């Protein structure tokens, strides 16, 4: 296949043409949303729609168990199981808009819970299985949880001690309990056995609440971000254009559904596009991951910078040890991906790793590097068709839009796309502060080059003001990562009276490298040579690991709080290393 034929094979073959002609109404028509009573219901579009066609025998989910043996769910089987759970919820009195939570690892019951809940028009909220009692309590309480699906081990370890503090919680369903323990603690298997596999999805409007995701805040309480069923349009089209789903593809999203990526792209997007999702029930293990890519013949792999950085630190040449010929697209999301990581992907797999940008609040991918377009290593890429992104100075008088290439500003998205969040739960004022007129203020800073590629600078509250310069931590971290001894780096601004803030870098060295003053001076010299003395770090501190969320975001605010002896805020999503 020559270059022209290869480009034509992509779903997004001509970016500029697609942006010009794109319409969300056309996507609604393509999905025939007005022709079924299920309407916009995510579970109808993701499961039942396919189970009633020739795709009924196609695998929807393949769960890879600890011994690497598969546990398979076809679209037909998934329809039956999710309908059973929908009937369970109905029998327990769950009504439209009430919340059903999960607290479990990547087991079938979690995914069936998600889709079965959506069928009933109740709201689904996933929690990380590694959360301790207090983060679980905060989310269950704030979300007014009516039902929690979890495991016996997590119930005993985490949930049982919280029951008296959760008056809203009516039932706890344990996925591995054979018989009901009490009138409140129920057996998943018994409930499912007694439920019918036929369920009629009620009429679902585009604005019916569907998904609740909690995102960490700088204070002690997380924010509850609410999304509606119409968000499925974004899940569908990003699956087409960014992930480049084609019929017969095998897709692996490594994210846990406790993080928004694991729900939007680990559950919904592949199902709406009728492809097969691989789900590994175990945690990160480099050789296991490479083996799964080979054994399952994965075509599209969506992972996080944390995993990529771990793989980069290992002396493994994947194409020499594994047959990865089926792998067509690799993507990453979470923390921005450095140019070095993008190029490492091209060297290690024969294809670059495509970075993309979005937030819990946007519900789906907004800006991306696309398989059909030239990649600019280190860039966020270009906005999705149907998404209008802009840069502006935000002042008390309003927005001053920036047209000049290379000039940084606040990244804004124009309202009107279907997956934009509809509320911060019980925080109406905080929600409204995110908008100015027709624009959503993302809280991120970026710049745009003359060809329309966006480049991430940093969170607005992470920006370092030093000697009159505005320094983005990611820019400094990316440069430090090019030093041959550095495995990871995180940068903060540290108050310094004479210059405002000095740039301080926390550095993880590669195994065997010395943590001495000579190495610090070498790193500072390297940074000054490549960035100039005004921007380069003035302090280096060696650490064993960089604090990150499980979704791969560097917790710079946590490093800064520790450096200055301030409260650490919400650390419930902190990756356990």
- For the chain, which domains are there? 3-447 (3.40.50.12780), 463-564 (3.30.300.30)
Where is average pLDDT lowest: 252-266, 460-474, 517-531, 538-552?
460-474
374: Cβ contacts below 8 Å, ≥ 6 apart: none
Label residue 480 by pLDDT band (50, 70, 90): very high
Cα–Cα distance measured from residue 414 to residue 386, given in angstroms and rounded to the nearest whole number = 10
**Closest by Cα among 327, 337, 443 to 381:** 337
Cα 506 off chain centre by: 25
- For 369-422, the pLDDT digits (tens) are 999 999 999 999 999 999 999 999 998 888 999 999 999 999 999 999 999 999
Q: Is the pLDDT of residue 550 over 80?
A: no
Work out the burial of residue 420: count CB atoms within 10 Å of its CB; fewer than 13 is exposed, 13-18 middle, 19 or more buried: buried
pTM summary value: 0.86
**Closest by Cα among 530, 536, 531, 480 to 508:** 480
Mean pLDDT of 107-132: 95
Cα-flanking dihedrals φ and ψ of residue 349, to 5°? -120, -10
**Closest by Cα among 107, 75, 108 to 274:** 75
pLDDT for residue 219 = 47
Q: Is the pLDDT of residue 551 over 80?
A: no
Name the β-bridge partners of 185: 172
What angle is formed at CA 259 by the lines to CA 257 and CA 265, rounded to 5 degrees?
Answer: 60
pLDDT for residue 415 = 97
Q: Is the pLDDT of residue 348 over 50?
A: yes
């Amino acid at each position: 296949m020559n270059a022209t034929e290869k480009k034509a094979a992509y779903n997004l073959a001509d970016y500029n043409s697609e942006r010009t002609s794109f319409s969300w109404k056309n996507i609604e028509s393509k999905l025939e949303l007005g022709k079924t009573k299920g309407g916009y219901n995510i579970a109808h579009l993701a499961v039942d729609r396919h189970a009633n066609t020739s795709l009924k025998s196609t695998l929807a989910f393949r769960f890879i168990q600890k011994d690497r043996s598969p546990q398979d769910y076809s679209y037909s089987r998934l329809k039956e199981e999710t309908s059973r759970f929908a009937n369970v919820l109905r029998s327990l009195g769950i009504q439209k808009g009430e919340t059903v939570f999960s607290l479990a690892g990547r087991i079938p019951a979690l995914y069936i819970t998600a889709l079965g809940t959506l069928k009933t028009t109740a709201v689904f909220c996933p929690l990380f299985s590694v959360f301790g009692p207090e983060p679980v309590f905060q989310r269950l309480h704030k979300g007014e949880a009516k039902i929690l699906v979890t495991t016996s081990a997590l119930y005993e370890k985490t949930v049982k001690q919280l029951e008296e503090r959760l008056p809203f919680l009516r039932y706890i369903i344990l996925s591995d309990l054979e018989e009901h323990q009490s009138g409140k603690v129920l057996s998943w298997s018994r409930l499912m056995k007694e439920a019918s596999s036929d369920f009629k999805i009620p009429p679902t409007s585009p604005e019916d609440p569907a998904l609740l995701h909690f995102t960490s805040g700088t204070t002690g309480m997380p924010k509850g971000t609410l999304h509606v069923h119409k968000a499925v349009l974004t899940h569908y089209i990003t699956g087409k254009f960014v992930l480049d789903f084609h019929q017969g593809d095998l897709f692996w999203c490594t994210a846990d559904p406790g993080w928004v990526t694991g729900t939007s792209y680990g559950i919904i997007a592949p199902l709406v596009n009728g492809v097969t999702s691989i789900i590994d029930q175990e945690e990160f293990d480099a050789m296991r991951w490479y083996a799964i890519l080979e054994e399952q013949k994965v075509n599209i792999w969506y992972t996080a910078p944390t995993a990529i950085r771990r793989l980069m630190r290992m002396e493994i040449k994947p194409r020499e040890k594994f047959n990865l010929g089926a792998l067509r697209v690799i993507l990453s999301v979470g923390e921005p991906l450095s140019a070095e990581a993008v190029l490492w992907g091209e060297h290690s797999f024969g294809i670059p790793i495509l970075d993309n940008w979005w937030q819990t609040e946007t519900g789906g991918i907004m800006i991306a590097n696309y398989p059909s377009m030239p990649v600019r290593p280190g860039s966020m890429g270009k906005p999705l068709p149907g998404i209008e992104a802009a840069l502006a100075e935000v002042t008390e008088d309003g927005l001053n839009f920036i047209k000049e290439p290379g000039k940084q500003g606040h990244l804004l998205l124009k309202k009107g796309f279907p997956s934009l969040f509809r509320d911060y739960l019980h925080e109406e004022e905080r929600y409204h502060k995110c908008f100015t007129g027709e624009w959503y203020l993302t809280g991120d800073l970026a710049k745009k080059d003359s060809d329309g590629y966006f480049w991430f600078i940093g969170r607005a509250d992470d920006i370092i003001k030093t000697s009159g310069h505005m320094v983005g931590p990611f820019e400094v971290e990316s440069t430090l990562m090019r030093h041959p001894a550095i495995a990871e780096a995180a940068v903060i601004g540290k108050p310094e009276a004479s210059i405002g803030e000095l740039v301080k870098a926390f550095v993880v060295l590669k195994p065997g490298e010395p943590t001495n003053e000579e190495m610090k001076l070498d790193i500072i010299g390297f940074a000054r040579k490549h960035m100039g003395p005004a921007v380069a770090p003035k302090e280096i501190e060696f650490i064993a690991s960089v604090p990150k969320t499980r979704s791969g975001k560097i917790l710079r605010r946590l490093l800064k709080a520790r450096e200055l002896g301030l409260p650490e805020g919400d650390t419930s999503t902190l990756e356990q290393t």
